[in-house]
Chain A
Amino acid sequence: MSDLHSPSTAARQVTFRGGGFAPSSPRWIGVAVFAVLLGLAELGTRQGWISPLTLPRPSDVLLTFQELYASGLLWAHLSVSLTRLLIGAALGASLGVATGVLIGLFSYVRAGLVPLTAALFPIPKIALLPLFVIWFGIDEGSKYALIAFGTFTPTVVATYGAVDNVDRSLIRMGQSFNLSWFSIVRKIVLPGAMPGILSGLRISLAIAIILLVAAEMLGAEYGIGAYILEAGSLYDLERLFAGVTILSLLGITMSTIIGQIERRVLSWRQ
């Protein structure tokens, strides 16, 4: 310290140590991972070091998929599945958001329903299917109910958490300007809870897809679940994988749609 200009002290660059811990996600890498895995599977099954009994050849799966499309069966399965998914998830999510908001706003509803939700959440909803069959009938009703119930609980939990997290000072501001209760809920609480509600919906909709397949496996003539079950019991791995691929695509589509909605609705976020 005392000897700032001494020639014997060598100048050295300060070592940079602030890197890392800031992951970004370049788009093409995700695609590349898929491509490499599929390429390996294709190569392995062609050259024989993966037996066709353990893994179907990706190109065969693609062929099966094309056949399915050409025969018109793809649409037959997909349309029933999508209808079930949309009706069930819409019912469950809207009821869930409504219940969650009520829990977030009213003490008695909170005291009454939070323990109930906690009790319902861990029940594997698929175990209740026989009950739903008795209540709502063997056909579509029980499937809607199962999907709706499965989406309901996670949506409730995410929504009331989101409502709890709305900045209290904004609500206080609303009160200080004499806004009506209804205005405060509509203009401050709901938009403020929107980020949490949407990220909850991501999880709820993934659960909805899982339950859709489960319900269709337990009793349906058409639907992706029925298609997969049939392929599985015949040990037709190509068709099994074609079905699974449809589910994955469905999941990606759902998550993209929510991503788009988030980008639109939540453009105000930093």
Chain B
Amino acid sequence: MDIRLSGVSHSYDDFEVLRDISLEIPSGRIVCIVGPSGCGKSTLLRFLGGLEKPSHGEVLQIGAPPSDCLNPLTYIFQDFALLPWRSVRGNISLVLEDHGIRGARADGIIADVLARTKLSDFAKALPKQLSGGMKQRVAIARALAVNPAVMLMDEPLSALDSQTRELLMDDLVSLWTRTPFTAVYVTHNLAEAVRLGHSIVVMSRRPGEIREVVHLDKPLDQRQYGDTDLEEKQKYLWQLMREEARAADAELVHV
């Protein structure tokens, strides 16, 4: 299943956030969206999953999602969004219960996703007992449980410290290598973008427009921390963004 954005513009009252965004998200690839703060990249992600409606343009789903897919468009949030009163297991079973999956079938799915995210020993733990990195792995496990056609990741590693971020990037890469998934990955961190993106969409500051789409051909599992060619790409991206970021930083916050 592919996703296409065509001519998407959005404004809150007379405050223009996004202008004429057209983008194709091909299946089986990770598309990163980078841009200065306030460029509307998170808003764009909310359009993709139907949590918000753009004022102009349309978001299209092309082709049907696979039949075993419970929730085609599935988010992973920056703040994890785990229910603090449910255990790790309970947080995952939450998203299965509404599909009538209970008992042995649910146990099977939960055991599988916990194993894939290396959380098998923590099924009974409460979120307050987990570190930030583990919380985000629970959120990833929860997303995997519904077998998404497209993962929509909103700065998933931004709340974590840099070491944990490296570890989780490795985890995401190995998850993708084992079973390639489609993902839209919003971040302001260029290092994450060059590690995880098959293509990187660079946005301008508000009103957000697409400045350039950079493609990376190197396979994900061959990209390493500190690779020189990735550093080159990152430098190039930073040059694209530098002035925009400076200007965005100097803008007054609109509330």
Q: Is the CB of A187 within 8 A of B83?
A: yes
Q: Is the CB of A176 within 8 A of B75?
A: yes
Q: Is the CB of A187 within 8 A of B51?
A: no
A172-B81, A173-B77, A191-B85 as given contacts; A178 in contact with B128, CB under 8 Å: no
Q: Is the CB of A177 within 8 A of B146?
A: yes
A5 sits at the interface (CB 8 A): no
- A175→B83 CA distance, assembly (Å): 14
A183-B98, A187-B94, A270-B128 as given contacts; A177 in contact with B71, CB under 8 Å: yes
Residues 29-85 of A at the B interface (beta carbon under 8 Å): none
Q: Which residues of A contact B127 (CB under 8 A)?
A: 268
Interface size on A, residues (CB 8 A): 18
A178-B71, A268-B126 as given contacts; A170 in contact with B81, CB under 8 Å: yes
A172-B81, A173-B77, A177-B74 as given contacts; A268 in contact with B95, CB under 8 Å: no
Q: Which residues of A contact B126 (CB under 8 A)?
A: 268
Interface mask (A170-204 → B, CB under 8 Å = 1, otherwise 0): 10110111111001000110011000000000000
Interface mask (A249-270 → B, CB under 8 Å = 1, otherwise 0): 0000000000000000000111
Residue of A nearest to B90 (CB): A187
- A188→B85 CA distance, assembly (Å): 9
Q: Is the CB of A170 within 8 A of B98?
A: no
- A188→B94 CA distance, assembly (Å): 10
Residues 128-174 of B at the A interface (beta carbon under 8 Å): 128, 142, 146
Interface mask (B47-76 → A, CB under 8 Å = 1, otherwise 0): 001010000000000000000000101110
Q: Is the CB of A188 within 8 A of B83?
A: yes
A8 sits at the interface (CB 8 A): no
A169 sits at the interface (CB 8 A): yes
Partner of B95, one of A169, A177, A191, A192: A177
- A180→B97 CA distance, assembly (Å): 10
- A176→B146 CA distance, assembly (Å): 11
Q: Which residues of B contact A188 (CB under 8 A)?
A: 83
- A176→B77 CA distance, assembly (Å): 10
Q: Which residues of B contact A269 (CB under 8 A)?
A: 84, 128
Q: Is the CB of B84 within 8 A of A268?
A: yes
- A176→B50 CA distance, assembly (Å): 8
Q: Which residues of B contact A176 (CB under 8 A)?
A: 49, 51, 71, 73-75
Query: Within the complex, what minimum Cβ distance (angstroms) separates A183 from chain B?
Result: 5
Q: Which residues of A contact B86 (CB under 8 A)?
A: 268
Residue of B nearest to A171 (CB): B81
B231 sits at the interface (CB 8 A): no
Q: Is the CB of A173 within 8 A of B75?
A: yes
B112 sits at the interface (CB 8 A): no
Query: Within the complex, what minimum Cβ distance (angstroms) separates B210 from chain A?
Result: 24
Q: Is the CB of A179 within 8 A of B84?
A: no
B79 sits at the interface (CB 8 A): yes
Q: Is the CB of B97 within 8 A of A268?
A: no
Query: Within the complex, what minimum Cβ distance (angstroms) separates B100 from chain A?
Result: 11
Q: Which residues of A contact B75 (CB under 8 A)?
A: 173, 176
Residues 134-178 of A at the B interface (beta carbon under 8 Å): 169-170, 172-173, 175-178
**Which one of B51, B79, B84, B126 has the greatest number of beta carbons of chain A within 10 Å?**
B84
Q: Is the CB of B51 within 8 A of A175?
A: yes
Query: Within the complex, what minimum Cβ distance (angstroms) separates B240 from chain A?
Result: 31
- A175→B71 CA distance, assembly (Å): 11
Residue of A nearest to B87 (CB): A268
**Which one of A170, A176, A192 has the greatest number of beta carbons of chain B within 10 Å?**
A176
- A269→B49 CA distance, assembly (Å): 31
- A114→B73 CA distance, assembly (Å): 37
Q: Is the CB of A173 within 8 A of B85?
A: no
Query: Within the complex, what minimum Cβ distance (angstroms) separates B152 from chain A?
Result: 8
Q: Is the CB of B94 within 8 A of A172?
A: no
Q: Which residues of A contact B146 (CB under 8 A)?
A: 177
Query: Within the complex, what minimum Cβ distance (angstroms) separates B132 from chain A?
Result: 14
- A263→B142 CA distance, assembly (Å): 28
Known: A173-B77, A178-B98. 15 other contacts (CB 8 A): A169-B81, A170-B83, A172-B51, A175-B51, A176-B51, A176-B73, A177-B95, A177-B146, A179-B94, A179-B95, A179-B98, A180-B98, A183-B97, A187-B97, A268-B84
Q: Would you give 17 A-B contacts (Cβ < 8 Å), ordered by A?
A: A169-B79, A169-B81, A170-B81, A172-B51, A172-B81, A173-B81, A176-B71, A176-B74, A177-B94, A177-B95, A179-B95, A183-B98, A188-B83, A268-B86, A268-B128, A269-B84, A269-B128
The 9 nearest A-B residue pairs measured at CB: A173-B81, A268-B85, A177-B95, A176-B75, A191-B85, A179-B98, A268-B84, A169-B81, A270-B128
